[in-house]
Every structure is written in C-alpha cells, then in structure tokens.
A and B are shown apart, each in its own frame.
Chain A
C-alpha cells in the first residue's frame, strides 16, 4: 500500500489529504473567505501560511484514529501550478519542508490534471472528453498520445471568474457563482446577451459586461442571472459536444468548482443523452479544489517515477496541462 500526503492551495482553498490506492483516508481543509471583494492573492497566501500547521497537524491526528502513522507516508505531493503565485509559493514551501522532514520524495503535480484524474478515479470513466470549469480556468481537454490536449479554452477569463465579477458588481458576496445559480432559478425572461464561440474557443468578458449593463438598464436581477447562465453554459456545452464529435469519444467528464452548478450539469447531461454518450460528474467535494486530488495524482506520478528534486521544485503559476507527460495511462 502506498500512502501520499497531498497539499492544495493554488487559490481560495487550503486543503491537505492522505490518499491510498483505493480510498481517501482523510482530508482537512481551511477555505479563505475574503471579507469583501474577491480573492486577494497576498491575503490568501497569508491565510494559507497561518493555517498550514493546524491543517496538517489535524490531518495527521485524524489519520492516527484510522490507524495510519506519519511514518506510513511514502511521498508528499503539492500543486505546482497553475495558480496564484504567493499561494503556490507558500504551500510549496510547506511541501518541501514535509518531504525533507519525512525523507520521502516530493511530487509536483499540475492542478488541472489533478481535477481530471480524481474525476476519472471516482467516476470510473476510462477515456472521456473533459470540461474543466473553475474560477480561473475553462478548458475542454482529452487524452491523446501521452498528453492531455487542450481542444478548446477561454480566450480571456474563466467562467467562474466571469460569474464572480458579475456577482460582485451587483452586490453579491464572494463566491458569487452559487448565489447567481439561486437567483437564476427564479428568472423567467431571457435577455439577449452575447454568445461568443470562435472555432473551438469561447470568451466571457463581453458577456459579463453586457450582463452588468442589463442590470443597470433596470432588468430584474433574477432574469439577468438566468440569461447569463443560459448563455455561458450553452457556449461551454456546444464546444464540449463539438470536441466529442471531433475526437469520436462517447464519454464526458465534468471537472472543477463551477461543475457543481446544477443547470450546467443538466445541459451537459441532455447533450450527452441526445448523442448517445455517457455523462460523468464526481461528488461536489471532488469538483472544488481539494487536497485528495493532489495526493491521488501524486500517487500516480510516484509509480511512474515523476518526482521532483527540491532544487527543481519552483512553482509554475502558468503551468499548462498539455506540458505534462502522462506516463500513468
């Protein structure tokens, strides 16, 4: 049995988990919640620094209840990127210290791929087209000859970021996505908003500005939230469907925090049903940023020898998933 400790802290959620081949032994998290505005990178990093000791100690304690000791840990995995620089550096420092102290390999993992692999693990899908949607990222990917290839992606901001910017503008507290979803459920009237798909890519900034203008013009907030979701999610679903047709794949996996949105799930499910494909989505605790996914990908990479010497373990804020050689598939 191999046990990996995983540390996640690329943005808002500091999370540590212990994972073994067949299960998540335990997970402890400490989300950063801004008092006002959105995620401030330095404040988030300070939150992670202040909480790291408590989160890791609590994880080890809980693991002892499950009869795992700190000596059972075979490797320490951390999110090397992409993410906010200050947050990445803080968590990487903790990961290096732990790996040195325990004298085990350090494993740097790509945050996006961790989202994909935990989804495959929890759902049992073999070779899906993946829609990965979070605050900062929105990509359609699939595995082909040794790498996760990006087939389509946002030309500007991530869908979560778009929802959050809009939500902040209309006075909803961060994180705005879930609040927009609640309001959207009460909306009934569709307001024309720009639908921007270019080839296999999509864009959300024009949509966000138009949605703000629609609120300023006196439309009901619920109707604008409804129209925002319907437009943005239709764009994502369209590109996902086209990617499935293009690659000839009949499984689809949803990943990332925005994946918790019920309307997005419903649209993708309908699309998959209509084309005779299977739709997979993991439990929401594995959709949002979590330590378990980092530990799990760390476990896969330890097996293939994809570990990091300390001197090569600098963080990579713009780390793209297609840079990683996928040796475990």
Chain B
C-alpha cells in the first residue's frame, strides 16, 4: 500500500486500486465533487494518452472515488535509467504534449519499463489538458529535476537523449526547451526533497 497527499494505492491480484481520500478541511459537497471529477478525469486522460500512442495502464473500472487498473510489472525508469531509455521517454513526452496532455508529475519514478520492453507512463493524478508552452516546459523541467536528484553524474547525457526524442515527436519542442531554461532560472519548481 502506498499513500500520497491525495490517494491511497493498493495492489491486489494483478490489479491496482487507487482511491482518493477524503479531506476533512473542505465541506462534503466540494470534497465529493473534486474526488469524483478527478477520478473520472484521470481515467479519461489515461485513455486519451493511450489512443495517441502513449502506453498507460488499462482502466478496468471507474468507481466514485476509485480507479481500478492494470498493474504493470517491470522496473521503474529511475532504476534502469540510461540515455536510450531517456530518449524513449522524450519521444513519449513529445507525443503526450502533442495530444494536448500535461502529465503534471513527470518523474522517472512515474515511468515503468515492462517485461515486454514497453515504457508505460503511470500516475496521471495531476494530469490535465493544456497545450501552453509554460505547462509543457514545467513537465519537462520536473523530469529533468527528477534526473538531477537520482542521476546527477550522467545528467547531461540523459537530458540530451531526452531532447533528441522529444524534438523528434513534438514540432514545438525548441520553443518548449527555451522555456525550460527560463523556468530553471526562475527556480520555482526546485524543492523536491
């Protein structure tokens, strides 16, 4: 079982149950609405991403506050990171962004390499539809930050590989990458411990 700020994730019989938890600080009307809307939105965005060619876990059921989905067996991208993997992540991110989707928490721990050598993006809990350069830039920046935290020594090669893949699948890649440099200077999103 895993618990984050918003949800509890449980694994059972090859399935993943992700249940959004109640927040006491907000009234029931808002709390229930937000949890329902986000559960449904997450399922919709994951299906949409898959339609565009970004592998995501298959959703089996959408309940009020719970998503039931396929459990992907494999290794976290973080654990097997190398330039070739980072390049494939760049390609997938380019396709995702080109489909109008922002992942919202694109770290190397939210990407799995399955046993049949497919890269899956997981945890779309903070994802949303948007095509702005700023949102895309933040996504890429968050990914670079996650690399900096775990693969500091090979960071330049991993970034370069990502850029290669990203540029191949997203026509506006250059504009986004310029913005990433801006975002780094602003230092807004650099605090993950």
In Å, the complex CA distance between A244 and B135 comes to 21
Contact at B29–A150, with CB atoms within 8 Å?
A: no
Chain A interface residue count: which class? 20 to 34
Contact B23 A322 (CB under 8 A): no
Contacts of A304 in B (CB 8 A): none
Could you tell me if B138 and A237 are in contact, using CB atoms closer than 8 angstroms?
no
Write the nearest CB–CB distance from A190 to chain B, whole angstroms. Answer: 4
A147 touches B187 (CB 8 A): yes
Tell me which residues across on chain B come within 8 A of A2, comparing CB atoms. Answer: none
Is A195 in contact with B30, judged by CB distance below 8 angstroms? yes
Tell whether, in the assembled complex, residue A274 and residue B25 are in contact, meaning their CB atoms are under 8 Å apart: yes
With known contacts A247-B192, A322-B186, A237–B34 Cβ distance under 8 A: no
Complex: A231 Cα to B41 Cα, angstroms? 19
Would you give the 0/1 interface string for A239-277, flagging 1 where the beta carbon is closer than 8 Å to chain B? 001100111100000000000000000111011001000
Residues of B in contact with A, size category: 20 to 34
- The residue in B29, B33, B130 that gathers the most chain A C-beta atoms within 10 A of its C-beta is B29
A325 to chain B, nearest CB (A): 12
Per-residue interface assignment for chain B, residues 33 to 52, with 1 indicating a CB less than 8 Å from any chain A CB and 0 otherwise: 11000000000000000000
In the complex the two chains form, what is the Cα distance from A163 to B93 in whole Å? 39
Pick the contact of A144: B27, B126, B138, B191 (CB < 8 A).
B191
Least distance between B132 CB and chain A CB atoms (Å): 10
Majority secondary structure of chain A interface residues (helix, strand, loop or mixed): helix
CB contact list, A139-164 vs B, under 8 A: 142, 144-145, 147, 149-151
Among B23, B187, B193, the residue within 8 A (CB) of A271 is: B23
**One of A190, A234, A246, A266 near B191 (C-beta < 8 A):** A246
B70 to chain A, nearest CB (A): 26
- In Å, the complex CA distance between A241 and B25 comes to 11
Given contacts A149-B191, A246-B191, A247-B192, contact A231 B30 (CB under 8 A): yes
Chain A neighbourhood of B11, CB < 8 A? none
**Contact status of A144 and B190, CB under 8 A, knowing A190-B30, A270-B24, A274-B24:** yes
Q: Does A42 lie at the interface of the complex (its beta carbon under 8 Å from any beta carbon of B)?
A: no
Please name the residue on chain B nearest to A267 by beta carbon. B25
What are 29 pairs between A and B in contact, CB < 8 Å? Answer: A144-B187, A144-B190, A147-B187, A149-B191, A150-B188, A151-B189, A190-B30, A192-B29, A192-B33, A195-B30, A198-B128, A198-B130, A199-B102, A199-B128, A199-B138, A231-B30, A234-B23, A234-B25, A234-B26, A237-B26, A241-B5, A247-B193, A248-B193, A271-B25, A274-B23, A274-B24, A274-B25, A322-B186, A322-B188
Task: Name A residues whose Cβ lies closer than 8 Å to a Cβ of B.
Answer: 142, 144-145, 147, 149-151, 190, 192, 195, 198-200, 230-231, 234, 237-238, 241-242, 245-248, 266-268, 270-271, 274, 322
Can you name 12 extra interface pairs (CB under 8 A) apart from A144-B187, A241-B23?
A: A142-B191, A145-B190, A150-B188, A198-B128, A199-B126, A230-B26, A234-B26, A234-B27, A247-B191, A247-B192, A274-B23, A322-B186
Interface residues of B (CB under 8 A from A): 4-6, 23-27, 29-30, 33-34, 102, 104, 126, 128, 130, 135, 138, 186-193
The 9 closest A-B pairs by CB, nearest first: A248-B193, A234-B26, A245-B5, A270-B25, A190-B29, A267-B25, A271-B25, A144-B191, A247-B191
